[in-house]
Amino acid sequence: MIYDYTLKANDGSDFALSDYKGKVLLFVNTATRCGFTPQYKELEAIYEKYQSQGLEIIDIPCNQFMEQAPEDDQGIQQFCSLKYKTRFRRMKKADVNGENELPLYTYLKAQQKFKGFGNGLKATAMSLLLRKRDWNYKKNSDIKWNFTKFLVDRQGNVISRFEPTDSMQDLEASIQNCL
């Protein structure tokens, strides 16, 4: 269950997900130097709009995708606070795939598999990029890129996975349904 996991906050303190029972949770692996980094602005707007209704966004910076989060935890916090004025919770930088991935991500990926990037120019670009790295990328549940999002309802069920190319309006609609 989602509430069995504890993460490390960006200040090094323990962050127990059990403290968030009854909340709608959105987990996002992020990076500061990615083409999708401007999603921080949209995420903060969603957080401001729905936080009082029980939404919590949990940001997990990750440097696994072309090293697009090179700063240390303090540098990432400073960047997000100054440039995007984010107020949602930020964890320590961590891996979301591979041998050293957070156990939370092993669980999230088992609950919601990769279903594709959808349609459009960004989706096509992501598919082409990933095919160069792994021809069979569609056949595993690994996180494919920065700003992949997992939505968890108030009962702790992982109900949706949103790829970075997915519409933020669709994400917001799903959040509204959970609230």
Across the chain, how many H-helices and E-strands are there?
A: 5, 7
Beta strands in 36-148 (DSSP E): 55-61, 89-90
Is 178 part of the annotated catalytic residue set?
no
Q: Annotated catalytic residue: which of 34, 62, 80, 178?
A: 34
Q: What are the distances in angstroms from CA 118 to CA 4, 44, 87?
A: 32, 24, 30
CA distance 174 to 23: 14
Task: Count Cβ atoms within 10 A of the Cβ of residue 178 and give its class: 0-12 exposed, 13-18 middle, 19 or more buried.
Answer: buried
For the chain, how many residues are written? 179
Instruction: Report, as residue numbers or ranges, the catalytic residues.
Output: 34
